[in-house]
C-alpha cells in the first residue's frame, strides 16, 4: 500500500471515530435540593432551595450577590427556567472578561432589557428582537444561552431573540446568577442544565 493510500485510510478512520463519538449530553448543574457545585456565601441570606426551585432574594441591606459555579466553562449551551414578578435586575454571568445575559430591568437604563447582553453597556447588536412574541410575563420562561467561540446566542421559549459577537470575551470562567444590589428583588430558577462544548475547568 502506498504512503498516500495509508494517509487516506488514516484520515478516513479518524473521521469515522469522530463521527462515532457521542456528543456530550446536557447535565444538571443544580440538583434541586441544595447548592452543591455552587460557591455559596457564608452566611447565606441570598439563596435558598424550595421544592426544586433555586430562589434568589436580596438581603435587608440590598447588598446583592452573584452565585457562581465551582467549575469554569468557556464554550457551552446552558438551558434554564426563570421566573419573576415585579422589578428585578438579574441574569447569567459568563466568560472573562465578564459578559452578562440580562433578565429584568436595567438599573442604568430603567428599561426592561431581558435577553440582551450587557458588557458595561448594552451594545445595539446584542439587544433583543421580538422578545414580546415569546416571553410570558410573571410565568416560567425557558432560556437557552450558547457560548461558542466569539459568538453568544440566546433563545427564549424556543425562539432566537438575541446574538452578540466579540472575540474579547474569550476566557473560561464560572457561570453566575445575579442578585443586583440596590433594590428589593426576588428571582427563581429551576431545571438548570449545561452541555459543555469543551472540557470544563476544575476549581482552582
- For residue 183, is it within any domain? yes
pLDDT tens, position by position, 1-53: 565 665 566 556 555 544 434 457 899 999 999 999 999 999 999 999 999 99
CATH number at residue 46: 2.60.120.560
- For residue 169, is it within any domain? yes
- For residue 75, is it within any domain? yes
- For residue 120, is it within any domain? yes
- For residue 142, is it within any domain? yes
**Domain tally, the chain:** 1
Q: Which domain holds residue 73?
A: 25-196
Q: Give the pLDDT score at 21.
A: 41
| Per-residue exposure over 133-151, b if at least 16 CB sit within 10 Å of its own CB, e if not | ebbeeeeebebbbbbeeee
Neighbour tally for 181: CB within 10 Å? 15
- For residue 18, is it within any domain? no
pLDDT tens, position by position, 81-138: 999 999 999 999 999 999 999 999 999 999 999 999 999 999 999 999 999 999 999 9
- For residue 188, is it within any domain? yes
- For residue 9, is it within any domain? no
Neighbour tally for 36: CB within 10 Å? 10
Degrees to nearest 5, angle at CA 36 with 32 and 40: 110
Amino acid at each position: 500500500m502506498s504512503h498516500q493510500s495509508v494517509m487516506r485510510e488514516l484520515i478516513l478512520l479518524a473521521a469515522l471515530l469522530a463521527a462515532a463519538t457521542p456528543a456530550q449530553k446536557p447535565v444538571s448543574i443544580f440538583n434541586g435540593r441544595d447548592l452543591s457545585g455552587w460557591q455559596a456565601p457564608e452566611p447565606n441570606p441570598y439563596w435558598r432551595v424550595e421544592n426544586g426551585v433555586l430562589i434568589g432574594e436580596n438581603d435587608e441591606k440590598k447588598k446583592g450577590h452573584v452565585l457562581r459555579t465551582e467549575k469554569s466553562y468557556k464554550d457551552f449551551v446552558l438551558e434554564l427556567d426563570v421566573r419573576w414578578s415585579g422589578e428585578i435586575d438579574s441574569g447569567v454571568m459568563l466568560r472573562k472578561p465578564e459578559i452578562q445575559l440580562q433578565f429584568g430591568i436595567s438599573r442604568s437604563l430603567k428599561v426592561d432589557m431581558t435577553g440582551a447582553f450587557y458588557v458595561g453597556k448594552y451594545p445595539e447588536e446584542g439587544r433583543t428582537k421580538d422578545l414580546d412574541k415569546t416571553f410570558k410575563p410573571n410565568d416560567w420562561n425557558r432560556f437557552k444561552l450558547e457560548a461558542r467561540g466569539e459568538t453568544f446566542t440566546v433563545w427564549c421559549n424556543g425562539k432566537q431573540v438575541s446574538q452578540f459577537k466579540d472575540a474579547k470575551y474569550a476566557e473560561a470562567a464560572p457561570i453566575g446568577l445575579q442578585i443586583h444590589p440596590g433594590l428589593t428583588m426576588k428571582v427563581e430558577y429551576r431545571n438548570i442544565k449545561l452541555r459543555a462544548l469543551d472540557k470544563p475547568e476544575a476549581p482552582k
